[in-house]
Structure 1
């Protein structure tokens, strides 16, 4: 390989060849390339040429040819002329003109430059701009991901094939080895106190080095052992504690500590009387784990800043309890008026006796500190001692309202009155003292109405009167402390302050709602009572007060309120009905009948009162009386609802012929009453007369084309008869007459599903969601059309689009239920209840869930909430309540039946 001779060796180089030109080298020319050099001009020649140039310049008469003059530099033209003031003024004028022109062109020039720069950045973006989004994404990288990043190695040329060069070894002459040994020996001999120079050829004794290392290790271990007893002197607990106290810090943190230490050192050096600097320096050392250094720094700070209470408290914190006591003892010598130092000294004591000694010593130095007096009083277990201390405290701190009130609470009634009177004379602007007096009078069964009026006047005279809202807040606070009479007296006295007569009713209703929101039901009750005294004939106020009593009062208080309400508002039908219902629920049916009789006298033509009386008789098994009442109602209150109720009652009693006759008579009077048509159609379907039912629905849809239930009932009739196409067309016609109706779309989807056309059902569902995008009914059904794996994603979209509809919330709860996530399912059922308490299906599904996964306590609580809500809507709920088999059953029984009629939750 190396023996081959190159063909160009020994040949002349080509013309113009320059060695290394391809690598960027430049050629050079030597004397051998150009021949011998010529002689330069002599001194005589140079002198002669200079003389010729001078003669030529003298003949021309001008040193500078105007061809070579700079047109922008006039010094060459007018350098001999004087520069006067007008010349300077002219130059300034020209400069100002140039600046103005430049300013006018500045915006366009900058815009043009910016455009060119943006264009250049787009064509040739910088590397940092290309990776800007990736840099911003580094904020989301966690510490674990940083640690798991692989180390970057040198991969340059990894894929290249290395040249297979042979290694070359050059043998070293033997004469070099003795010479190197001699030089090494000479170097070692030259060192002072060095080791003996080894003889040439000697070897290092590694065994002796190993034994020396063992001896050093043994000496270190011996320090930690007791040679006399042979047992170790290391305290295991202390040793472990020392290990735990070792703070391992990174290099960056150590650098930060060093910089902070230098900075704080400069702070305290610049101003040694600056206490925060000493505190910060001590805390820095504490953070670094150097508690001893921290104590030394804070001790020095105490010496430099003896009047700073913060630095003394910091020193006490950094030291042990015994040392802290000594430090605080020195502190109170320097700052005897510091309440914080005295309180800290009290906390360091372990026994009550020593605490009392310290706090009383503190009171000797700071007798006007409320905190010290309160601390001393709290330590007393004996009320007599506390009363003595409070008596002394109010003498020394007469402007402390808290101390006066505390003293009054410890005194007897007569003494407390004297204390409060003295406090009122000392602090006449304090409303707290007045309120304490109110509560004292109520606690001793005294009237507080006049005292409240006096207090309001006195505070107004002293220009310390509270606003109406502030008095209401105080009333709520008194209610929380169980002083109801004081609360009511405050409300009666101050509720009308600053309120115009036209705004009284609305303002008071807002105040009552606010009190109810704060769970101050006594305050709200007092507001309603005052409002009813002012507006006794406002049935809306009576109704609000009745609802408050129903929710948070007793049965007796509600009955008494309703009795007064019907006397004040005899024309208010809702109040009569509420009063009769409460008597009925209380088991007093005769009293309920009597109330309804009085209601008939006051409202002889009231539809609601007639129907309420019929319901009362029918629910209690008095069907004859109910029929008689309905007969009279059809004469005195001839409405569609009365005819509907009459037909329903006859149907429930099994009198189908009489029911059909009543329906025909009612339809002659009220042909647009869709419920009459629906009841007649249902009766005909139950009798099996589908043809007459069809004719009935056809007539009904002509009279009531906007009735959605009629379209659905007619479509179900055709669907059951096997006429799927006709049912489909009926629902399409119904959607034309009633656009954007979710119930019709849902029935169309179910018709397709019942006809084994799931694909067509999905297509209809997608169209339905386009027309009714916020319908919770449709979104709930669409979730069950998806596969099990896709339902979770679908329910998320449903919750967003339906605005947390109760139907969708029920579906979400059912999904958690099917996944055995019991607690989540229960929470979502509760959300559905709150979203729509009138939806009976939500209660039924929740009850079914609690039967399977709950206990008796949860079920009973659910039933109580259900009874209070009295739901009336819901697909499954209405089908259960309107079933003739369930007539006369209680609410709880209906809830159980509705839950039993629900389908299984194990949907595939």
Structure 2
């Protein structure tokens, strides 16, 4: 085979062949960054068909007015985007804008519809997440509560925590060498031998038996013991020697104060915490002000205080003294200099200051303040009064330092120098005897005819000396004189003066002032309202005599107003004595014989005092004035029944049923027979009462309860149903029927009764509360929580529901629920009581007592709150606190409360008083957990 044939065999098949269509040389390895002339030149005709099968897309020719798209953030529009609107050539008119607003409103409305459900779902997810994954403190809360049961012996038997570290790490076996201090090594070098290690093998001296120079050891006779106490004493001695050397100079003057050396060093520490550049700038500005206007006192004071703040006390003193030279007539500069200077230097500064400004009261007071001894202060004030005899302030300060006799002499001179000062005249009158005091006050009135305090002091003086008849003349003359001198009589100021007189013990003066000025400036139609407000304001200030005088004046003008008599009677009941109350009530019933409450208050006062015949006579007079009064009949019955006069009570009720037949009279008649055990008579009376008053729900309730007491459940059920037909709005009747079915074991029936009751009585929180409790008592807590949620939607501001909802929650969520309850019902006694019990359950006893106090203060008629408070004090309080709560409860006489009514309305407890019911309710309560 020839060579040519071999070459032709090795030649590749594609060499010399035309390239395929669309082939670009170098495209596979990325070489497409350049082109040649043959690619774009006239290498082919325009009529040639392109063999490029994947030609790039033809670009749309760009007009001149079109701009390239700018993707910069500054070019972004919320409405049109980056490139602008595709309809930007079209006009965006008002129709388009209105359409967009309508679409936006629709979207917003749809979002609001879903918002509530979305928030509820989110809230449920959060609560479920917290229940599934509680915090560490919540996981161990039950263990924390159990710690209260751990006894003292169990605490003491707990083992101490040992050191669990590796002993091998703590006590390595290898030798450890401790480096010596420089002073120790230097001392060893001076003695000719140095030792730089401690021998740990020597145990005789605790590892500190180190060889000393010259073979000395700590145990030998030539040992050197290091006594740290002596070293400290030597250091102090050396310090004293240096201070003594520095303190003496050639001229004999002291340069350094040895005693105050350390104090001065401490004062040199900068106390300013600001930036040093700010201090330099302020210093430069103040310097400019001083140089520009050296006679400007505030510039010198500000400069001195700046240096004082930065710790440069001496520079501050120098600046202020220079300021005194530049501004010798400035009182403020001299006072600042006296403040900055120490001790005797301050006295010298003040002396120089009063020479420059002899009429400055403040400088004389500063000079007296600097003096340490009392004699020096008196001497300064007397010099000041010689210079400024008409300064009331100086006279007052000087008199305060004197004894009584010298003060009287000085005040005699003071009123001559300052005849227009009321305080000086009154002070002199207090120091004089009766005759001289009258003369002094007469002179004071002549000197100052426009001041009311002089007249009031004169009245108090007469009362103190027993001249009661003179007080009214003095006050009348005072008002006439002041009006003659064009002085306005200010009612509020005079009443305030009357309260001050009462606090000072001048009762008659107080009452005369009130009677004289109570009607000044008050319109006739506004007198009653204004006077009642004045009386309440005085009582709130503790001025009970003023309030009593205001009520007396109001009753003189409005003798037939029952409301004023009642207010005055309640005032005497709370702040007066029994005798004053009874005297007021006797006058009240004489003027208002038709006011039943006044008669009843008088009879009750006599009864509580143990005078039963007097109470009967008052009620007899009340019968004469009000023959058909239900309240008076029932009060008479209660009086007789409480005093075991049951036959008299029955006769009174029989007369009342004849002369004044009412539903309450029948109810009290039935209750008396029920309590006395005569059930046949009680039932007959109930039949008569129901025939006459079928729409009085309490009669149906009593009939059903009597049937339950006799174990006639079917009869009781029938009575309740009949009563609900007559009284469908009677909430207690629905609850009694529901509880009857629940006790009979018909939970479903009880639930349906309550649901029917809720349909007939919308938004009734008592029915919702009973429904929740029925489910809770039945062990269906989930259903109870669902009912509570519905109840809160229908009655969002019900305190009893919020109080129940707090303890329906799990323990970790109770605090949050209580916060929500307080936002809704801030002043509701049920919510406050629930919060108190919550703090009690968490053993926060101080907060629990505070919240219980708030509860009984907001609603003193809530018996359950008093019972909880008493139970709390029985467990955690002292005997004094328990008696105080019991006394307050008796004074409040609560009548309401779920457990309180449940206990007090038991037939066997019908004669128990408040102090006997309170422990019973407290014992029935359980400690909150």
Note if contact 2:720-2:737 (Cα within 8 Å) is conserved in structure 1: yes
Q: Does 1:415 align with 2:423?
A: no
Partner of residue 148, structure 1: none
1:763 to 776, 783, 786: 786
Note if contact 2:797-2:825 (Cα within 8 Å) is conserved in structure 1: yes
**Equivalents in 2 of 1:649, 1:228: separation in Å?**
97
Rate the CA distance shift 1:282–1:734 in 2: closer, same or farther, 3 A. same
Partner of residue 880, structure 1: 903
2:325 to 298, 303, 308: 303
- How far has the Cα of 1:791 moved from its partner? 0.9
Partner of residue 367, structure 2: 345
Greater mean alpha carbon deviation, residues 343-352 or residues 743-752: 343-352
- How far has the Cα of 1:328 moved from its partner? 0.6
**Equivalents in 1 of 2:721, 2:394: separation in Å?**
90
- How far has the Cα of 1:534 moved from its partner? 0.9
Partner of residue 627, structure 1: 650
- How far has the Cα of 1:868 moved from its partner? 2.2
Q: Does 1:272 align with 2:294?
A: yes
Rate the CA distance shift 1:475–1:249 in 2: closer, same or farther, 3 A. closer
What CA RMSD, in Å, does the superposition of the two structures yield over aligned residues? 2.5
> 1:633-666 CA distances to partner (integer Å, 9 max, x unpaired)?
1111111111111111111111111111111111
Partner of residue 554, structure 2: 531
1:700 to 701, 704, 723: 723
Partner of residue 435, structure 1: 456
Matches within 5 A, 1:96-495: 119=77, 233=241, 241=263, 244-247=266-269, 253-381=275-403, 383-446=404-467, 447=469, 448-495=471-518
TM-score normalised to the size of structure 2? 0.72
- How far has the Cα of 1:252 moved from its partner? 5.5
Note if contact 1:550-1:558 (Cα within 8 Å) is conserved in structure 2: yes
Partner of residue 799, structure 2: 776
Unaligned runs of 5+ in 1: 1-114, 125-210, 215-223
TM-score normalised to the size of structure 1? 0.74
Partner of residue 724, structure 1: 747
**Equivalents in 2 of 1:770, 1:745: separation in Å?**
11
**Equivalents in 1 of 2:913, 2:847: separation in Å?**
30
Greater mean alpha carbon deviation, residues 226-235 or residues 749-758: 226-235
Rate the CA distance shift 1:262–1:850 in 2: closer, same or farther, 3 A. same
**Equivalents in 1 of 2:496, 2:274: separation in Å?**
55
Equivalent pairs, count: 697
Rate the CA distance shift 1:648–1:240 in 2: closer, same or farther, 3 A. farther
Note if contact 2:270-2:310 (Cα within 8 Å) is conserved in structure 1: no
- How far has the Cα of 1:557 moved from its partner? 1.1
Matches within 5 A, 1:550-629: 550-629=573-652
- How far has the Cα of 1:613 moved from its partner? 0.9
**Equivalents in 2 of 1:468, 1:427: separation in Å?**
21
Note if contact 2:271-2:311 (Cα within 8 Å) is conserved in structure 1: no
- How far has the Cα of 1:263 moved from its partner? 1.0
**Equivalents in 2 of 1:500, 1:553: separation in Å?**
30
Note if contact 2:535-2:546 (Cα within 8 Å) is conserved in structure 1: yes
- How far has the Cα of 1:247 moved from its partner? 3.4
2:872 to 842, 845, 849: 849
Note if contact 2:268-2:312 (Cα within 8 Å) is conserved in structure 1: no
> 1:207-259 CA distances to partner (integer Å, 9 max, x unpaired)?
xxxx9xx9xxxxxxxxx999997575478985654564353578952111111
- How far has the Cα of 1:862 moved from its partner? 1.4
- How far has the Cα of 1:765 moved from its partner? 0.6
Q: Does 1:797 align with 2:820?
A: yes
Note if contact 2:562-2:592 (Cα within 8 Å) is conserved in structure 1: yes
**Equivalents in 1 of 2:443, 2:261: separation in Å?**
65
Rate the CA distance shift 1:834–1:118 in 2: closer, same or farther, 3 A. farther
> 1:664-717 CA distances to partner (integer Å, 9 max, x unpaired)?
111111001100110111110011001110110111000000000000000000
Note if contact 1:453-1:493 (Cα within 8 Å) is conserved in structure 2: yes
- How far has the Cα of 1:723 moved from its partner? 0.8
> 1:720-767 CA distances to partner (integer Å, 9 max, x unpaired)?
001111111110111111111111001111111122211111111110
Rate the CA distance shift 1:636–1:455 in 2: closer, same or farther, 3 A. same
Partner of residue 61, structure 2: none
Partner of residue 647, structure 1: 670
2:683 to 627, 640, 660: 660
- How far has the Cα of 1:468 moved from its partner? 2.0
> 1:831-870 CA distances to partner (integer Å, 9 max, x unpaired)?
1112211111111111100110111221222122212221
1:504 to 510, 515, 527: 527
**Equivalents in 2 of 1:870, 1:406: separation in Å?**
50
